[in-house]
């Protein structure tokens, strides 16, 4: 009886030991880096049971589709093992173990699989960095590297870099590369966000393809915030007479701007010539304005100018008067006059005075004074310097030599004229002149034309005008000689 009981217990344990079995479709799986492979493990059971599947040594690149497998009496079920090694997984043979435990009998068995990881063709995108101004109108730069993780050269791969806003695609570029095994190439792309770019989520897509095959597809996201961005478009125009400045700002952002304080240094002297938008206040030499809020896409400006033209024209007048004084008044001046006021009668004597005065502000070593006596008069010397005479058909040319004229000194030269005919009215005598050297050039100044005689009336005046015209012609001939 005891022997039969012992035999029954042994048969019971033997049956329990072989209650389920594990079978593999393949125990060694070849898996390329960055690729994916799978295999199946079959659980067969002699009784209704469920089995707990757990990794004996966890690897992030190995997963299963089930952690609990239910099997009916005399049936079988599979669980699938997935292998997806990244470029960081070493090449070679890797042992992958799973524990399979019966939830009914608590019996545990181990399934040992092997994955052979190798590198063939493969491109991996790594190190994606975004920099720049992530605001409307800002410049965004994306920098990334492409690595050939395979063991063969990859040729003619197309790298398409695209940027997307909430409104759609905003940038795209394409590059064609060749990569040797383990070769790494770094690309950097830059693009500018448009003015008034909407806020929200943006993305960068880096897609690597070869013919129709996608070798790598990476997406990086970034956010453009709601912000006002004032673009400074200030201009300054300066010419000889005017400075004009326009503070001009455009809101290229996507939100209303805050009021902006503007300052400009304008001296008290310059403030006399200020025109334009009046400042809110002044702080010493500083003018202060406030630019109002600007809506997205809007413009706002503050304008002012410093107009120096009134000062310029005033200086022109001053310098003109100064030039006139220096050239016309600070010189040798000559004037001519008649001492007697009486009718022109034959034999009457008239004394003619020629006055030369030095207004130049400095001594004049020498000068020559010229005058002319028309033929209707005879000339008679007086006391004082005697002129040189040169007769012609039209009259007598007189010349005096004057020397050592001190500043503000004047010399008076006189002679007498005697009419050879009797005339009614007045006759203007020719101009006298003085010739001297000034600023290394010869200068000649002329006197007035004094009148001889007394004014006449009526018919006498008409007759005189005819005679006077004839005499002017004669005097003109004398001056030209």
Q: Is the pLDDT of residue 175 over 70?
A: yes
- Model-wide pTM > 0.85: no
Whether the pLDDT of residue 239 is over 50: the answer is: yes
Beta bridge partner(s), residue 301: 248
Closest-CA residue to 373 (of 352, 355, 401): 352
> What are the pLDDT digits (tens) for 404-426?
889 888 999 999 999 998 887 88
| DSSP bridge partners of 353 | 337, 414
Distance CA 50, CA 43 (A): 10
Kindly list the distances between the CA atom of residue 124 and the CA atoms of 182, 305, 454, in Å, as whole numbers in the listed order: 10, 61, 121
Which of the four pLDDT bands, split at 50, 70 and 90, describes residue 315?
A: confident
pLDDT at residue number 5: 47
Provide the pLDDT for residue 467: 64
Range with lowest mean pLDDT among 41-55, 131-145, 336-350, 452-466: 452-466
pLDDT tens digits, one per residue of 242-280: 999 999 999 999 999 999 999 999 999 999 999 999 999
pLDDT of residue 412: 93
Choose between 106 and 13: higher pLDDT: 106
Bridge partners of 174, per DSSP, are: 160
> In this structure, how many other beta carbons lie within 10 angstroms of the beta carbon of residue 30?
14
Q: How confident is the model at residue 14 (pLDDT cuts 50, 70, 90)?
A: very low
Share of the chain above pLDDT 70, in %: 89
What local confidence, expressed as pLDDT, does residue 371 receive? 95
What are the percentages of helix, strand and coil residues in the chain, rounded to 5? Answer: 15, 55, 30
Q: Which domains does the chain have, with CATH numbers?
A: 18-118 (2.60.40.10), 123-224 (2.60.40.10), 230-310 (no CATH), 330-480 (2.60.40.1530)
């Amino acid at each position: 009886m005891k022997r039969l009981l012992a035999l029954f217990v042994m048969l019971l344990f033997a049956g329990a030991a072989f209650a389920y079995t594990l079978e593999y479709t393949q125990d060694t799986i070849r898996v390329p880096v960055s690729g994916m492979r799978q295999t199946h493990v079959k659980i067969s059971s002699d009784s209704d049971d469920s089995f707990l599947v757990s990794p004996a040594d966890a690897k992030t690149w190995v997963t299963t589709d089930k952690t609990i497998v239910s099997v009916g009496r005399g049936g079988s079920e599979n669980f699938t093992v997935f292998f997806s090694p990244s470029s960081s997984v070493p090449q070679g043979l890797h042992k992958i173990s799973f524990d399979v435990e019966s939830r009914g009998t608590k019996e545990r068995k181990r399934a040992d699989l092997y994955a052979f990881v190798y590198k063939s063709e493969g491109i991996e995108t790594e190190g994606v960095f975004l920099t720049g101004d992530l605001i409307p109108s800002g410049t965004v730069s994306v920098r990334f590297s492409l690595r050939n993780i395979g063991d063969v050269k990859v040729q003619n791969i197309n790298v398409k870099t695209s940027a997307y806003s909430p409104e759609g695609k905003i940038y795209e570029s394409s590059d064609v590369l060749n990569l040797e095994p383990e070769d790494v190439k770094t690309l950097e792309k830059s693009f500018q966000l448009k003015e008034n770019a909407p806020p929200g989520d943006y993305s960068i897509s880096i897609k690597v393809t070869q013919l129709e095959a996608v070798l790598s597809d990476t997406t990086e996201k970034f956010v453009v915030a709601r912000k006002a961005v004032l673009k400074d478009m200030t201009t300054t125009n300066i010419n000889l007479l005017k400075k004009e400045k326009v503070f001009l700002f455009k809101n290229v952002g996507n939100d209303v701007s805050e009021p902006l304080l503007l300052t400009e240094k304008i001296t008290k002297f310059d403030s006399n010539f200020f025109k334009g938008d009046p400042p809110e206040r002044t702080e010493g030499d500083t003018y202060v304005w406030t630019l109002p809020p600007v809506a997205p896409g809007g413009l706002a400006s503050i304008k002012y100018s410093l107009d120096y033209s009134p000062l310029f024209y005033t200086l022109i007048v001053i310098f003109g008067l100064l030039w006139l004084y220096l050239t016309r008044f600070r010189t040798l001046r000559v004037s001519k006059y008649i001492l007697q006021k009486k009718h022109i009668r034959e034999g009457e004597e008239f004394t003619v005075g020629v006055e030369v005065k030095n207004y130049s502000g400095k001594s004049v070593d020498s000068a020559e004074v010229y005058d002319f006596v028309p033929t209707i008069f005879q000339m008679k010397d007086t006391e004082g310097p005697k002129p040189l005479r040169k007769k012609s058909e039209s009259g007598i040319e007189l010349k005096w030599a004057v020397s050592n004229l001190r500043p503000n000194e004047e010399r008076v030269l006189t002679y007498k004229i005697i009419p050879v005919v009797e005339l009614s009215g007045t006759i203007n005598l020719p101009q006298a002149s003085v010739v001297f050297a000034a600023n290394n050039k010869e200068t000649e100044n002329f006197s007035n034309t004094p009148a001889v005689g007394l004014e006449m009336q009526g018919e006498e005046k008409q007759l005189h005008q005819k005679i006077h015209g004839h005499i002017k012609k004669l005097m003109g001939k004398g001056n030209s000689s």
